[in-house]
Amino acid sequence: MIELGKLTWPEARALFHDRLVAVLPVGATEPHGPHLPLDTDVTIAEAQSRRACERLAALGVATVLLPPLAYGLTHFTDGFAGRVSLRPGTLWALLEDVVASLEEQGLRRIVFSNGHLEPAHVAVLRGVAGDAAVLTAHKAQVLFPDNTRRRWAATLGEEFQSGDCHAGRYESSIVLAADREAVRADAMAALAPVAIDLLGRMKAGAKTFVQAGASEAYCGDPARASADEGRDLIERLASMIVESVRETWPELFR
């Protein structure tokens, strides 16, 4: 598994070709309850991306893991300290610039691996990937396996499908598996379940977690998280990328 950020420029030049799959982890810096770090979404995106690259490489597919994007749209955590947010146009332009820069160097296959679930953030990733598919100016194809789509959401457990998963059992389990030392275990064990029907509250007009009833920037049941479940979820997230790459570029597996 090759990480772009660890290469020298001659090594990168030798690596780049039109069959190479470049995976970009996309996360955010925002509050995740009193028990998870602000970089939780980055950790999730990196864990998904790293495992997917390992599995694709084992199947003979040339892959490279790009340095993560640690900022996104984080309006739902307004009111909590530590939130860093971009404007939609800034995120769009940043993603387009990454794609364009890789295109200039001969890459034609790029995957967005997203760990941040705020709807407006996801909409930007969908839009950039969609533009790359239809605009003749783009030479690269951008693939976005979107885990908020029903096909993938159904593989990620009941809490994820309910929507009440921000810093809950789902995300806490993944961070336990990928970056255990970053979890405030005592604080997590003391947290009571928080059921707010986040998806329903959003449809009713809630624009922040505070408005939706998540007064400590978490919902779901983080105290039930486990590293074993986190490792299983990472595999499931990686499968989204592996299966999407196989379906989109089957010629890479021949």
Instruction: Give 211-246 pLDDT, tens digit per residue.
Output: 999 999 999 999 999 999 999 999 999 999 999 999
How far is the C-alpha of 40 from the C-alpha of 182, rounded, in Å?
9
Q: Is the torsion defined by CA of 153, 156, 161, 163 positive or negative?
A: negative
Full 3-state SS string of the chain: CCEHHHCCHHHHHHHCCCCCEEEEEECCECCECECECCCHHHHHHHHHHHHHHHHHHHCCCCEEECCCECCECCHHHCCCCCCEECCHHHHHHHHHHHHHHHHHCCCCEEEEEECCCCHHHHHHHHHHHHHHHHCCCCCCEEECCCCCCHHHHCCCCHHHHHCCCCCCHHHHHHHHHHCHHHCCHHHHHCCCCECCCHHHHHHCCCCCHHHHCCCCCCCECHHHCCHHHHHHHHHHHHHHHHHHHHHHCHHHHC
Which pLDDT tens digit goes with each residue over 96-133? 999 999 999 999 999 999 999 999 999 999 999 997 66
State mean pLDDT over 157-183. 97
**Rg for the chain, CA atoms, rounded:** 18
Which pLDDT tens digit goes with each residue over 23-64? 999 999 999 999 999 999 999 999 999 999 999 999 999 999
Query: What is the predicted pLDDT for the residue at 76?
Result: 97
- Reading the block at residue 94, the tokens are 């940043």
Phi, psi of 34 (to 5 degrees): -85, 5
- Reading the block at residue 126, the tokens are 């969908």
Q: Tell me if 1 sits within 8 A of 47, measured CB to CB.
A: no
Residue 134 has pLDDT above 60, yes or no: no
Domain count, the chain: 1
Find the CATH number of the domain harbouring 237: 3.40.50.10310
Residue 137 has pLDDT above 80, yes or no: no
Contacts of 85 (CB under 8 A, 6+ apart): 30, 71, 72, 73, 74, 75
Domain extent for 176: 4-253
Residues of the chain with pLDDT > 90: what percent?
Answer: 95
Query: What is the predicted pLDDT for the residue at 1?
Result: 84
Query: What is the predicted pLDDT for the residue at 136?
Result: 52
Q: Count how many residues are written for the chain.
A: 254
Which pLDDT tens digit goes with each residue over 76-86? 999 999 999 99
